[in-house]
Structure 1
Amino acid sequence: MSKDNNVLLTDELRLRIINLEYKDISNEEFTNEVRRIYMEEVGKPLEVDVSVIKSSELSNVNNTVPSSYDGTAIQFYSKQQDINEVYIVSQGTTDTDDWLYNIRAMQVGKDTNQAENTDIFANEAKKIFQEKNGDIHPVTIGLSHSLAHNNNSTSHLLYDTFDEIYSVNGAQTNYYQLYFSDNKFEEVVNGKFNISLFDNPNKVYSIPPNELKTFAEAYYKEKGTVIHQVISSDDPLNALANIRGFFTLGDVTMIDTNPDKPGLKAIIDKIPDSEVKSLQDFALVYAEGFQNGGNNQGIEDLTGVNMDVVDKIMNDGVGAAVGTYFSKDLDDMISDVNEKVPPLLEKVTNITSNADVIFGELKNAGYITNAQKQVAVEELANIEKSLKIIEEKINSIDENRKMSEEMMKGTKYSPYAGQAAMASGFNVMAGDVDAAIAIYHEVQNMQASAKRLHEELGSVMEEIIASHGIVEMLNALGASKNQGYLGNDLVLMTGGNQEIKVNISAAVRMYQEGQQELQKKKTYITKIAERFQEHIIDDYENQKQKVLSDIRNIETNPCGQLPLLRKHVFLPYFSPVQIDKVEVTEQFNGLSGMDISHLMEGLTKSLTDNEDFLESAKSNIEQLFSKDRDLSILFNYVPGG
């Protein structure tokens, strides 16, 4: 189906809905926001039913196949207009679990769990929508950004999930992921590149990346025709599009969203594939470690350093060190370090050897200053230096133990062999403990270097990451139309020089919410007048009438007042005294100090002034953009109203 026939028919509409997925709002709010966005972009109300389901509402998602997938399903339905479209808006990277998945799935190709849950969610949501309206076979469209493009596209290639996929700044499809998840693809790859069933599955990584990439592009080309992408040439993920594992499917529109900067692709392309492979190997170990047990576990899986063991030595003193030593915890840790640090150092050396070129290119491109470049190069060198010291300490442990063994051979038959053995044992232990303490300090140094790198380059990363975001892309797309975006708000601009900018979304909210508040104020003013009339004016008149009624009763029935007279005047019981006539002279003082007309006038004037302000602002904004757009429909329309 052509995208021009879809409900969400423009890139701006789709991107704003994708961006909406990152907001934590209720289904009702989400629906109203969809209608608002449609109204702003298309200029008319969305005259179809809109239903929303979130993946968190469905128990099967992330349950059968554990993952951190998150998404929202939106159905646009109208039987009269023959519209039945389901959009699966998969969410991009938001938390640590997603970042770890990025590494496992897209850097290493070892995980497709989020892609599997994309398909599970799409099918579950469509069943619910079908039960609601009875229609089957909706057009199913995937919307995605970043990690979500990998999820949606991989889900489609594996399970035929979508009829169309639209993505912005997506993490591209990974042929290693597909190799380990698509049995048919694995079979044809094995046949093409002579991998037998008895070979290690990781042999696929030995295939020349360009050859496997070309093969994957041809194999999935037909399925990829439904994939449509808009990508910023400044997007850092775009810089990774050509490294091993990634390949791009479908049609791609490239947009320069940050003309002042050249983007990272030219820089990344200068890194040899062997160094990229080192990054992938490093990422796999890092991801698995930090996934299994957090910070300390990640350090241990990277370096072999068991921080819990070393903390005991550092915090509890020599006695604890001896106990730790003889429990072999320290011995096991040293053995683990000896196994893991040398290959890790080799990978880090491959990375740091390119540091001057990488950060030099960033400096030349204007991303960082010369001072920031120096910090980056220095701290990476410090990390490498710490790893070398750790390696040296490991070597010294081996040499110390070998020397001790040689000395013990020379005293084997000596009468002092026992004492020599004890001394030798304590010497070895002392050397091991000393090495453990040194290793601990080097781990601290590496953590300090990582912290300084973050402090120095954090703002640079924010700028780079902004080019990966949706808003920068929206602004680039809207520039030719004299419109931009602030968050999920629409900003209109006048003239080629964009001299005046107005946040239309905010202006409409101000007008509509202002009108609602003014309506409340009108109600309050009316209630004040009603309560004053009821409880002051009317109550005074009511009480006055009660008194007059009592007076008339006394005057028309004077004999009836005799019991009252007896209460105040002594009269014998059989006294012939009668009351023939009663005359009451009444005088009622009018209410004083009860005039609130000045208060009511002030409240009414305030109300009128506010109404005038809102209407004037609305009128001025409408007039400002009258040549290009009729904004009155936006001001007068309330989503869900």
Structure 2
Amino acid sequence: MSNEEILNTNILLARITELEYGKSEKISEEEIRRIYIEETGKDLPVEITVYHSDDIKELKEQKDAGKDSGFDGTIIHFYNPIEGINQSYTITRGSEHSEDSGEGEPLDWYYNGFGIFTGKVKNQFENAETFDDLITKKINFKVTEDLKRGQKSGEHLESIELNKVGIGHSLGGNLIQTLQIMNDSFSSVYAINDAPPSVYQLAMIDTKFQFSLGIKFNIDPNINEQLYSIPPAELKAFAENYYKERGQNIHHITAEEDMLYGASDIRGFLDLGTREIIDTDLDFEGLRKTLGNISDGDLRKLQMFLAEIAPYYNQNGVQGVYRGLTGIDAELFTLIDTIGEEWNKLIDGPDWKFVGVDMHFSMFPLGFGAITVPFPVPEVPTKLLAAIGLLQLRQVEIMARLERLRTQIPSLIKILGATMIVMIEDVLNHLKDILGSVKNMISSLGDLGKVVIKDILKPGSPNISEYLVGVIDIAATVKVEAGNIKSKFTDIFNVPFDWFRGFTKAVEAHGLTHVATALADGNRRYEGNDMILSKGSHLQKVEVNLSSAVRVYQLGMDKYQDKKEVISRLKSLYTQEFIDDFQHRKGRLVSAINQMETNPRSYQYLLPGGNVEMKGITVHEHIRPLDSLFADTFEEIFQYLDREVDSGIKLIKKIRDSIEQLFQEDQKISAIFDLR
């Protein structure tokens, strides 16, 4: 192999990135190898080191200090100096519903609003930059030390430059593109169903770009009113031209139905690099038309509003957002509690102190004189008065923030309503069709009345055949139009469900599993990180979870191999502790007998009295063998255990053989079972 990209297919990129959202939320070497084997049928002849952002001291300290940005990411290092491989993949995770496995705040979504759309927060980008920089230095140090060890041991290892690749999905796609735009960090960047970088986001992060914006549009980019007032089309064109060269190595993999792709025409979002569009649902065209109805003016108002809230978020995180929206936060409740506590102290009886008061007296004829007299007075409740004063200030702030929120709600309603325009248009079209059918029915029923009247008033014998033909034609028309009306009312009833179903499909299309399945050939799909193979027609299809089957096979073979080793140890212990020990004891006994028979004088001391001489010893030994029942019992146990292991191995191999036979045209299947 050379140092060309190991993850060289879109499916590999999507499936490895999907591991970021696993239950453990940490990518492992074992999972990387498994997916590579499943997709290629080949082993991965490299050393794999996985680095997680949760393990980085600098980022952990921020989180422990209550300044968690919500950033999560992984860097995978593939290394084999003999094969000339030294490459890393920086994977930035997309938006999660909430942090800490669902227990924390939805920090990613705050960054989506304040960081990307508004461009007033950059903490996740800064964390991503720190993570990538620290791990890159760590990898380079590791490789340098490895080369030194190789030189000392006599190996001729050449220095291999680190080939860095970036991958990101959703919010992660935004972060990885921003890293590339700012630092030219990667040889290639793959953004899967990404949230595009925005002009407003880059105007905050990139000071040079901010300066260029000011010159181009004659504005101060730090003034929200001026920045958000630039016509979005002009701003987009300028920014895309400005970053064109830096973004040329960005490759987008996008589901046409993806919800973020549907929103990518919204003000400020950039389109850099190349894009591969995947049609994952032929019956659904996505949300671009629906979201295209949103007023740019309403979006600008929303930006202005969020820009006002962003400083609160930067200063105090999620609690700051609540204060920015309503003027209310935890400090307010603490202040109210303080007032209650101080008031209770006051009504229980104030503290008193003595104050000296000068008293003047007229004492004729001696003249005027003055003395100081102590008077008791209650102490002023300064803490209570200060708290009440602060509460009054907070009251003013709360009223102002709530009023600002009230003025913003109509714009939010308009934005929501704009997404429903397509649904309303569909309903109106169906109603127009119903109106047309009603008119046709009224006309036809009127014609039927004319036919009846005409035939009744016609002198002479009525033309029965002509009459019947006219009635039948009119009745047929009425029947058709009545069916149309019924059908259209059903369509109207289904419109809201279709509308919500469209949003559901857009959310599904955003997921990496959906992307990987769309990229795969017709007999493969994915559930989470498992590969599902199918065989047969649509009406008679057999599906096999190959990933699960391989796990069962390998785990089963491992367990039975462990059992075989345990049985082997038991047999060895049985032979050692019983058979060999018996023979050893028997040998020692026979040896002792021989010793007595050949050296009888050595046992003279055993005879009573002192005048008796020991001239010979003859031993008639009879040593019984081990009880056959004892040995047979152990042999039966060992045979039973051997049969059980053999039966289990045969069963597991039978499962494998059945899968290989079912998918015999796929030569990779057999290798997948054997490789790890």
TM-score range, shorter chain: 0.7 to 0.9
Structure 2 equivalent of residue 73 of structure 1? 75
* SS state at 1:142 partner: strand
Q: 1:37 Cα deviation (Å)?
A: 2.3
Kept after mapping to 2: 8 A contact 1:106/1:245:
no
Structure 2 letter corresponding to 1:90 = T
Task: Extract unaligned runs of 5+ from structure 1.
Answer: 366-457, 567-572
Tell me: CA distance 1:347–1:548, structure 2 relative to 1, closer, same or farther (3 Å): same
Tell me, yes or no, if structure 1 residue 621 matches structure 2 residue 662: no
Structure 2 equivalent of residue 195 of structure 1? 219
Kept after mapping to 1: 8 A contact 2:52/2:75:
yes
Kept after mapping to 2: 8 A contact 1:309/1:324:
no
Structure 1 equivalent of residue 182 of structure 2? 158
Kept after mapping to 1: 8 A contact 2:228/2:300:
no
Tell me: CA distance 1:56–1:202, structure 2 relative to 1, closer, same or farther (3 Å): farther
Q: 1:460 Cα deviation (Å)?
A: 11
For the aligned residue pairs, the C-alpha RMSD in angstroms reads 4.0
Structure 1 equivalent of residue 244 of structure 2? 221
TM-score scaled by structure 1?
Answer: 0.72
Distance 1:281 1:185 in 2: 21
Tell me, yes or no, if structure 1 residue 170 matches structure 2 residue 231: no
Structure 2 equivalent of residue 449 of structure 1? none
Structure 1 letter corresponding to 2:219 = I
Q: 1:150 Cα deviation (Å)?
A: 1.3
Structure 2 equivalent of residue 536 of structure 1? 578
List aligned pairs for 1:227-266, cutoff 5 A: 227-257=250-280, 263-266=286-289
TM-score scaled by structure 2?
Answer: 0.69
Tell me: CA distance 1:470–1:559, structure 2 relative to 1, closer, same or farther (3 Å): same
Distance 2:94 2:115 in 1: 14
Structure 2 equivalent of residue 17 of structure 1? 16
Kept after mapping to 2: 8 A contact 1:77/1:84:
yes
Structure 2 equivalent of residue 342 of structure 1? 403
List aligned pairs for 1:517-532, cutoff 5 A: 517-532=559-574
List aligned pairs for 1:32-51, cutoff 5 A: 32-48=30-46, 50-51=48-49
* SS state at 1:484 partner: strand
Distance 2:159 2:185 in 1: 18
Tell me, yes or no, if structure 1 residue 110 matches structure 2 residue 109: no
Kept after mapping to 2: 8 A contact 1:103/1:287:
no
* SS state at 1:627 partner: coil
Tell me: CA distance 1:582–1:623, structure 2 relative to 1, closer, same or farther (3 Å): closer
Cα deviations across residues 468-517 of structure 1 (Å, max 9, x unaligned)?
22111111221x34211222222222245381222222222222222222
Tell me: CA distance 1:622–1:151, structure 2 relative to 1, closer, same or farther (3 Å): same
Structure 1 letter corresponding to 2:273 = G
Tell me, yes or no, if structure 1 residue 488 matches structure 2 residue 498: no
Distance 1:299 1:180 in 2: 23
Distance 1:26 1:544 in 2: 63
Residue correspondences, number: 535
Structure 2 equivalent of residue 180 of structure 1? 204
Out of 93, 113, 118, the residue aligned to residue 95 of structure 2 is 93
List aligned pairs for 1:498-517, cutoff 5 A: 499-517=541-559
Structure 1 equivalent of residue 475 of structure 2? none
Kept after mapping to 2: 8 A contact 1:173/1:246:
yes
Q: 1:256 Cα deviation (Å)?
A: 3.8
* SS state at 1:86 partner: strand
Kept after mapping to 1: 8 A contact 2:117/2:201:
no
* SS state at 1:223 partner: coil
Distance 1:250 1:273 in 2: 25
Structure 2 equivalent of residue 451 of structure 1? none
Q: 1:267 Cα deviation (Å)?
A: 3.2
Out of 284, 302, 306, the residue aligned to residue 279 of structure 1 is 302
Tell me: CA distance 1:167–1:555, structure 2 relative to 1, closer, same or farther (3 Å): same
Structure 2 equivalent of residue 470 of structure 1? 512
Tell me: CA distance 1:153–1:307, structure 2 relative to 1, closer, same or farther (3 Å): closer
Kept after mapping to 2: 8 A contact 1:494/1:625:
yes
Kept after mapping to 1: 8 A contact 2:257/2:285:
yes
Kept after mapping to 1: 8 A contact 2:224/2:304:
no
Tell me: CA distance 1:461–1:242, structure 2 relative to 1, closer, same or farther (3 Å): closer
Kept after mapping to 2: 8 A contact 1:514/1:614:
yes
Kept after mapping to 2: 8 A contact 1:164/1:226:
yes
Distance 1:525 1:470 in 2: 45
Kept after mapping to 1: 8 A contact 2:168/2:190:
yes
Q: Percent identity?
A: 30
Tell me: CA distance 1:553–1:250, structure 2 relative to 1, closer, same or farther (3 Å): same
Kept after mapping to 1: 8 A contact 2:597/2:616:
no
